[in-house]
Amino acid sequence: MNVCVVGTGYVGLVSGVCFSDIGNKVTCIDLDQEKIDKLKQGIIPIYEPGLSDLVLKNINENRLSFSTDLTEGLKDADVVFIAVGTPPKENGEADLQYVEAVAKSIGEHLDSYKVIVTKSTVPVGTGKRVKEIIASVSGHTNFDIASNPEFLREGSAIYDTMNMERAVIGVESEKAGEVLTELHKPFNTNIVLTDVETAEMIKYASNAFLATKISFINEVANVCELVGADVTKVAEGMGFDNRIGKAFLQAGIGYGGSCFPKDTSALVQIAGKAGYDFKIVRNVEEVNQNQRFKIIDKLEAVFNNDLSGRKIAVLGLAFKPNTDDMRDAPSIDLVPLLQEKGADVFAFDPVAAENARKVIPGLNAVENLQKAVNNADAVVILTDWPEFKEMDLVQLKETINQPIIIDGRNMFEPETMKELGYYYSSIGRPLVDGRE
Ligand code: NAD
């Protein structure tokens, strides 16, 4: 099929390249000239494992092209995906200005039947709004609208798309359902065929449920600390129950990123507008926001509430490993707070430092792990990058000023840390102190 993807960010680029890799002819459109120029040369503007090779392969095999000109993408397209951002407004609602702008441009250039699919995460009712805009601007109704929300995870986006667990396809017409089912056939996945509104809701319900799981286990962790239980064992014991499952039960300093924070607030807004108070999700957000500050409490507990002049090594700035995405990362709140409390912060992240500098004023991000930990009074782990897991803990102890680790991601075993002579405070597990 001929596919046009409008919006070449994380989602648009990954979807576009995967649709091309399974044999479609894909044109990815973006307003950002610099981004498109780079992509044409095979230079990838984001950090995503495996993406670069796949983009180059499909450019070379003439299935993938990039343009800033929407007419180029629309020409001959059977399916048009809208994959632009839907960032949160001040009140938590999803901002639909980019989706609406794309709908208007599609309307201006629509000349033959196409299935126009919203892939962006959008509130229930947006598909209808897109339809109204396109129909009123184009003056005809020779098109179908559909919803096909995206579930990929940054960091494993290619794998997630190529091995998608389900494709949710919300349509108003049988024809659109057939076209999109056909398009997804090579992925050999479960197709959930439904109406547009239900598809839109599935995305928010899924993300809010996963966020709930994280906040739930974080609250369990907080209780574990008070009563002397170990949350990792609690999660293991829970996870063997198929009704619960093992995933998303890792206690820590909570979620961040471009999706969970904004999608939970958007769901609260969607429900509120419909006259319903979505209490659970409201509390999930509150628990998550508070959870990140546990790091500060734990650090202050070791230093008698005085962090002034302490050299603190912060390991990890991105909201999760394998990404340079800094959107709503806990580090955005925590690094400035540490600095406000007088700490001398030396931060290291394998890939997110450049993006982090844009959102954390006064950030002192150093170029390697060694520089961050040298003579540190304490090491604080905010992101569970695999290379932190592989640190030589014996050597680390020689390098740092005091063997104190505050671990917001539960990367190490408390007993081992104790044997190695560390003061080690993690989330929902026994505090150990192996210092002499
Ligand atoms: P992004 O900000 O990385 O990319 C959006 C792109 O759209 C940008 O490159 C921007 O220049 C472009 N754009 C904006 N207006 C445009 C226009 N009128 N014409 C052409 N291009 C335009 O966003 P993203 O992370 O890819 O997210 C896109 C959507 O997918 C959001 O709704 C998001 O909630 C959803 N989503 C994201 C993820 C994720 O992990 N990032 C996962 C699932 C769903």
User: What domains appear along the chain, each with residue ranges and CATH number?
Assistant: 2-194 (3.40.50.720), 203-290 (1.10.1040.10), 292-433 (3.40.50.720)
Query: What's the Cα-to-Cα distance from 116 to each of 18, 198, 328, 378, 412, rounded to whole Å?
Result: 18, 17, 30, 53, 48
Q: What pLDDT score was predicted for residue 258?
A: 86
- Report the candidate in 62, 114, 86 with the shortest Cα–Cα distance to residue 11: 86
Global pTM exceeds 0.85: yes
Structure-block tokens of residue 343: 């700490």
434 touches 420 (CB < 8 A): yes
The residue behind tokens 């962790």 is: 221
Cα 121 from Cα 96, distance rounded (Å) = 10
Cβ distance 200 to 122 under 8 Å? Answer: yes
pLDDT value of position 17: 98
Amino acid, single-letter form, for residue 396: L
The pLDDT, as a whole number, for residue 225 is 98
For residue 185, what is the DSSP state? G
Cβ contact 211:284 at 8 Å:
yes
CA of 11 to the centre of ligand 1 (A): 6
331 with 382: CB under 8 angstroms? yes
Question: What is d(CA 110, CA 99) in angstroms, rounded to the nearest whole number?
Answer: 16
Task: Tell how far the Cα of 9 is from the centroid of ligand 1, in angstroms.
Answer: 5
Q: Report yes or no: 76 and 50 within 8 Å, Cβ to Cβ.
A: no
Q: What end-to-end distance do the CA atoms of the chain give, in Å?
A: 68
Q: What is residue 207's predicted lDDT score, i.e. its pLDDT?
A: 98
- Residue 236: strand, helix, or coil: helix
Q: Are β-strands 79-82 and 114-118 bridged in parallel, bridged antiparallel, or unpaired? A: parallel
Strands annotated E in 35-178: 64-67, 79-82, 114-118, 143-147, 166-171
Ligand 1 nearest-atom number relative to CA 121? 32
Query: Which residue's CA is the nearest one to ligand 1's atom 44?
Result: 150
Cα 70 from chain centroid?
27
Question: What residue numbers does the annotated binding site cover?
Answer: 30, 35, 86, 121, 151-154, 203, 248-252, 256, 262, 320, 327
Residues annotated in a binding site for substrate: 151-154, 203, 248-252, 256, 320
Is 121 touching ligand 1 by the criterion CB < 6 Å? yes
- pLDDT for position 47: 87
Left, alpha or beta for 243 (phi > 0: left; psi -120 to 50: alpha)? alpha
Is 18 assigned a catalytic role?
A: no
Q: Active site residue: 18, 28, 224, 259, which one?
A: 259
**Single-letter residue type at 160:** D
Atom 18 in ligand 1: residue holding the nearest Cα: 102
- Which residues are within 8 A (CB) of 433 and not within 5 positions of it... i.e. 6 or more apart? 418, 423, 424
Given a cut of 50, the residues of the chain with pLDDT beneath it are none
- Local structure of 357: helix, strand or coil: helix
Q: Return the pLDDT at 92.
A: 87
Alpha helices in 92-156 (DSSP H): 97-109, 126-138
Residue nearest atom 4 in ligand 1 by C-alpha distance: 9
